[in-house]
Amino acid sequence: MDKSLIDITLQKLIEYNQEDEELLIQKQDQLNRLTDYINSNPTEDDINELKDLKDSLEKEIQALQKDKAIIDNNFSNNDLNKMLDEAKLLISNLYGKQFIEENDTNPSIMFSNINRDKLGYCRTDIRRISGKFLITTEIFISKVLQKFPKEQLMSTVIHEYIHSLRCCLSCNHSGKWKEIADRINSSTEYDINEYADEEQTSSFDNILNNTHKTIYHVVCTNCGAEQNYYTANADIVRHPDHYSHRCSNGEKGSFTVTVEKK
C-alpha cells in the first residue's frame, strides 16, 4: 500500500474531532440556505458571486465528509472472515486448489488489542493425538486496522494467512513464506512485507496513544526498555513477575508496570 496513504489516514484519525463534526453540520446548513436563496431568483449581479460561494462550500463539505468517512469506517470480524476467504482464493488462483487443500489449516480470525509493534500475528498450536498431528491456527489483527482502508487490512490478512499454511509454519519470513509473498507482490497490487517499518510503528503508536484512555507502560527495571499495552488483559500487564527481559548488555531484567490514565 502507498505509504503516503497510510500516513494521511493516520493523521486524519488523530486530527478529526468533535469540532470537525460541528463544522460539517454548519457548512451543510450554510449550503442549504445558500441554495434556497439562489433558487429564489436573486439579482443577476449576485448570481456569479453566489455560485462561486456555493462551489467553495461544496468543496469544503466534500473534504470534511471524506475525513468523516475515515473515522466512521469500522471493519468487523465478519468482514475479516470474508477477507480471509479472498486471501485463500488469491493463493488458490496462483498455486492451484490442491495446494490450498493440502496446506490450509482453516485458521480463525479476529480483531484484537495486540502489541503496538504488530499489525497482526498468527498463533499456532500443534498437538499429537493418536499418532496424528492436530494443527490449530488463530489469526489476530490489530484493532487499529479496523479504521484503515481495505487494501491495508487485506495485505495484513494475506500476510498472516500465509503464516498459517502448513508449508509455512516453521518458515518465519523466509523460505516458502517469502516465495508466496514475493509471487503475490509480483502478480497483484498487494505489497506483502515482512515487518512494519519503524516510522509506521511510530505512527501506529501515536494512533493508539490518542484513541485509548488507559496505557500500560511495561518497563525493564535494568535497562529501561519499554513496551506499551492498551489492555489490562495482556498477561505481562497482569503478571509482570512471570516475565524477564534479556537486556542488550546480556544481563537479565525484571518488569514493572505503570498505568497512565488520560
Band (54; pLDDT cuts 50, 70, 90): confident
More confident of the two residues 90 and 211: 90
pTM: 0.59
Lowest-confidence region among 23-37, 59-73, 105-119, 241-255: 59-73
How far is 209 from 14, CA to CA, in rounded Å? 9
Q: What pLDDT does residue 23 have?
A: 73
Mean pLDDT for all residues in the chain: 81
The mean pLDDT of 32-37, rounded to a whole number, is 80
Q: What pLDDT does residue 201 have?
A: 64
Q: DSSP string covering 103-169, please? A: H----EEEEE---TT-SEEEEEEEEEETTEEEEEEEEEEEGGGGGS-HHHHHHHHHHHHHHHSGGGT
How far is 196 from 156, CA to CA, in rounded Å? 10
pLDDT tens sequence across 235-255: 888 899 988 888 988 899 999
- Check if the beta carbon of residue 219 is closer than 8 Å to that of residue 259: no
Residue 39, SS3 per DSSP: coil
Band (1; pLDDT cuts 50, 70, 90): very low
Residue 223, SS3 per DSSP: coil
How far is 39 from 61, CA to CA, in rounded Å? 20
The mean pLDDT of 193-221, rounded to a whole number, is 73
Lowest-confidence region among 38-42, 158-162, 198-202, 254-258: 198-202
pLDDT tens sequence across 121-164: 899 998 888 878 789 999 999 887 887 778 878 999 999 999 99
pLDDT tops 50 at residue 14: no
The mean pLDDT of 63-73, rounded to a whole number, is 62
